[in-house]
Structure 1
């Protein structure tokens, strides 16, 4: 099957609101790996084009450090290997490494959840979806914020229903009511800053503030690939089309910032492929 044209993949990659950051990074690696197998030769011009594509993919999702991290690791191989087959294999290996890190995160996060507990979450994290899949058969209750404006929480609840997990879908504005009832809050991450602060779907910061007020622990489940190196500077919080808000108002009166930053002091622990950390433990 021929590789999807880069312009089409880039547009779809940039517009994707349903997949988490890790899944999007893996999709980019799969595309790059497939594209190099179709090259006639891996000459200097081809390498320049691939570097440019890595740059465009990284720039397309600036709030997602895992995209930059994994694609830059692949680009290092681009400068080191001699043929396309090796480069395609490097992409496959990074995808496997990412998936293994997620599986290890899930192993440690699952140990924090007990039967008959209520867990509150926000947005759609591919890492948390792996965790929720592992909870099938456990008597627990998962409360999901709808995550405006496109309400990806709805698709989360539909999937959890298919797995026979007890769920409740709530509006984002109800999160502060449910932190008083929940045993724990778990969220994924789009990026982790050098001090442990969390970049995630907008609404996470307010959820964390409510959880702290109600003494409800908040856990961030994210592999270390999502850590943003200090040299990267301040994160860019992506702005999406205001038309997504669905209001008949002038665009100058609307804002659609998709991510916010939750300070580290609102986070109870970070869960990565190495374990549960009550103090942030940077890898980079």
Structure 2
């Protein structure tokens, strides 16, 4: 398939994508686009690690590099690779290569489960019980970058977006599913697979994060045994369901402390903790500082970058 692009190189696509991203993202930060599923990110310097929950998405870096840490495992990706997150995963992201002269530039394209399922069924309708990590890093290909570039170019002709963007997005995810680890990604779309069950379990934990988590009930809701749920959940996320819930609670608490300016005790009860002191201990363990000093540090950092 790659011989269809004899005169173009990976570098050619990256340079043109970098030019277009800088055009549509002239300042540092995350930028929405006229294509609802497509986001750009720009950073002119290496930054402190940021705690976030990655949505099911395709991530393509066209300039610079980044490390995503999931459950203590460092996953490095750069302009030679692309990353796919198949479920919502709490990660620590750190940009490791960026400068004012050569800013970090990347794009994110969110996964549509229905589109993924349709493509997966056409490629390989047979079911498999296989599961794997919810983050996959693969080597970029000319065919994938060609489709990504055509999607980004649509921003220059907005009238074409409603008709052509959905077709190009389908092509992009077809290329991803045809990639090195496409078979693993397909399992998250196929009902009846363990991976699909874990995807449903993650949805339920995120939805009811402040409620007590009863593993036997969660397992029943996704048609798995508690033992099987625990094994495959850890295989996909690198952590247990209870650890996952804890991180979602603490990340939500951090957001509430910053955005709503609530006190730590109020926030601890809101996200499901019964003990404010336990909340403070676990918060400091994850973010490196207790709630009050962490929020002050973050606000000082934000103020310093304005």
Do the structures match in fold with TM over 0.5?
Answer: no
Relative contact order, higher structure (CA 8 A, sep 6+): 1
Q: TM-score, normalised by structure 1?
A: 0.28
Q: TM-score, normalised by structure 2?
A: 0.27
Q: Which has the larger radius of gyration?
A: 2
